[in-house]
């Protein structure tokens, strides 16, 4: 039997998105022999080959079929206008593309940008936003250090990626309107053959298992048997909570899977119904 052709996956050469992409693959049980200076690395235990590319080039490589899939920000796909298919949103590397103005500039809404100069590294996304809002502005496309444009007189406002907003604050700017929200996604090539698409399906199965587990916790507690019905009514579960009798008469052990934030909403009610010995356990994978 011939060895299947590996699924070629493009990732960013460096930065936070690279680190989170490789971490995801590791959590999927995929072992990659790579050094940071390599441009290509094969997995030891799964039929994929990782290509380390410039972030802005990845959509083109996917569209052309040089890479079968890529882990990339949604904003880059929109900006590059390439024909790729988003097959999975990953929930990390979240950011937003926002409009920002100097703090001393009056701003009552996007209409105030009509006729203004806006500096950005994302002219396509910005133009789409302006067109939707019937705004005519002069877009200055620059690469890097967009936030200094108003201070040096190049522009009246900027449109740039924001995560925490600290860079805007340091440069005397205030975030005003969100142009688009972005997160990391898996994007696929329209030229992928059936053999590689089957490998992608196997990879997505693992990715889904990892992502399902990330915000979930396994919850165990001891509950008086006469309170089990009241406690289980409070609890979500994949199907329903598991209830097991304890060695001590009159007590049961209740198990379920819960979103971590949801637990803090109901902890007082659980305790009020006699729950004790409550344990929260991390989940590595979830197969639904």
Q: List the single range of 35-39, 58-62, 144-148, 259-263 with lowest mean pLDDT.
A: 35-39
Helix (H) or strand (E) holding 257: strand 251-259
Q: Is the pLDDT of residue 236 over 80?
A: no
Q: Is the pLDDT of residue 33 over 90?
A: no
CATH number at 104 reads 3.40.190.10
Task: Supply the pLDDT for residue 193.
Answer: 94
Q: Which of 161, 181, 201 is the last residue of a domain?
A: 181
Q: Is the pLDDT of residue 25 over 90?
A: yes
Same-domain pairing of 87 and 119: no
Task: Supply the pLDDT for residue 39.
Answer: 87
Same-domain pairing of 21 and 66: yes
Task: Supply the pLDDT for residue 35.
Answer: 59
pLDDT band of residue 2 (cuts 50, 70, 90) is low
Q: Is the pLDDT of residue 1 over 60?
A: no
Same-domain pairing of 83 and 192: yes
Specify if 158 maps to a domain.
yes
Same-domain pairing of 206 and 160: no
Same-domain pairing of 231 and 192: no
Q: List the single range of 72-81, 220-229, 254-263 with lowest mean pLDDT.
A: 254-263
- pLDDT average, residue stretch 216-221: 92
Q: Is the pLDDT of residue 244 over 80?
A: yes
Specify if 1 maps to a domain.
no
Q: Where in the sequence is the domain holding 86, given as residue range(s)?
A: 7-93+184-213
Tokens matching residue 241: 């909570």
Tokens matching residue 282: 């991390």
Q: Of 2, 12, 13, which Cα lies nearest the Cα of 36?
A: 13
Dmax (CA) for the chain in angstroms is 78
Q: Which of 167, 195, 213 is the last residue of a domain?
A: 213
Tokens matching residue 134: 């019937």
Task: Supply the pLDDT for residue 237.
Answer: 59
Same-domain pairing of 195 and 219: no
Same-domain pairing of 83 and 105: no
| Cβ neighbours for 170, distance < 8 A, ≥ 6 positions apart | 147
Answer whether 120's CB lies under 8 Å from 146's CB.
yes
Q: How many domains does the chain have?
A: 3
Task: Supply the pLDDT for residue 87.
Answer: 97
Task: Supply the pLDDT for residue 110.
Answer: 93
Q: Which of 157, 181, 205 is the last residue of a domain?
A: 181
Specify if 143 maps to a domain.
yes
- pLDDT average, residue stretch 211-222: 91
Q: For the segment 157-212, what is each residue's pLDDT rounded down to a tens digit?
A: 999 999 888 889 999 999 999 999 999 999 999 999 999 999 999 999 999 999 99
Distance, in Å, from the CA atom of 262 to the CA atom of 245, rounded to the nearest integer, reads: 25
Specify if 222 maps to a domain.
yes
Place of tokens 């309170």: 227
CA 237, chain centre distance (Å): 24
Same-domain pairing of 69 and 191: yes
Tokens matching residue 21: 């992409």
CB atoms within 10 A of CB 42: 13
Specify if 2 maps to a domain.
no
Same-domain pairing of 99 and 88: no
Q: For the segment 103-125, what is each residue's pLDDT rounded down to a tens digit?
A: 999 999 999 999 999 999 999 99
Answer whether 210's CB lies under 8 Å from 91's CB.
no
Distance, in Å, from the CA atom of 126 to the CA atom of 284, rounded to the nearest integer, reads: 40
pLDDT band of residue 145 (cuts 50, 70, 90) is confident
Same-domain pairing of 205 and 219: no
Q: Calculate the average pLDDT of the chain.
A: 92
According to DSSP, the residues that pair with 139 across neighbouring strands are 118
Q: Is the pLDDT of residue 21 over 90?
A: yes
Task: Supply the pLDDT for residue 265.
Answer: 86
């Amino acid at each position: 039997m011939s060895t299947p052709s590996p699924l070629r996956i493009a990732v960013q050469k460096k930065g936070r998105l690279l680190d989170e992409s490789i971490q995801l693959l590791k959590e999927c049980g995929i072992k990659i022999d790579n050094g940071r200076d390599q441009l290509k690395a094969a997995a030891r235990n799964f039929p994929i080959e990782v290509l380390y590319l410039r972030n802005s080039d990845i959509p083109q490589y996917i569209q052309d079929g040089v890479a079968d899939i890529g882990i990339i920000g949604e904003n880059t796909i929109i900006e590059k206008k390439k024909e790729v298919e988003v097959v999975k949103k990953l929930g990390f590397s979240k950011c937003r593309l926002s409009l920002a103005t100097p703090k001393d500039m009056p701003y009552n809404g996007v209409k105030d940008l009509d006729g203004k100069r806006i500096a950005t590294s994302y002219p396509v996304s910005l133009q789409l936003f302006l067109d939707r809002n019937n705004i005519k502005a002069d877009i200055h496309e620059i690469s890097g250090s967009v936030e200094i444009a108003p201070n040096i007189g190049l522009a009246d406002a900027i449109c740039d990626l924001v995560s925490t907003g600290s860079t805007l604050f340091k440069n005397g700017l205030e975030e005003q309107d969100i142009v688009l929200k972005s997160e990391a996604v898996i994007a696929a090539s329209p030229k992928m053959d059936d053999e590689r698409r089957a490998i992608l399906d196997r990879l997505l199965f693992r990715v889904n298992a990892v992502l399902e587990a990330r915000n979930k916790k396994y919850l165990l507690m001891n509950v008086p048997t006469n309170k089990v019905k009241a406690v289980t009514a409070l609890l979500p579960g994949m199907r329903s909570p598991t209830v097991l009798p304890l060695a001590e008469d009159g007590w049961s052990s209740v198990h379920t899977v819960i979103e971590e934030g949801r637990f803090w909403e109901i902890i007082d009610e659980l305790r009020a119904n006699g729950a004790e010995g409550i344990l929260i356990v991390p989940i590595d994978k979830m197969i639904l």
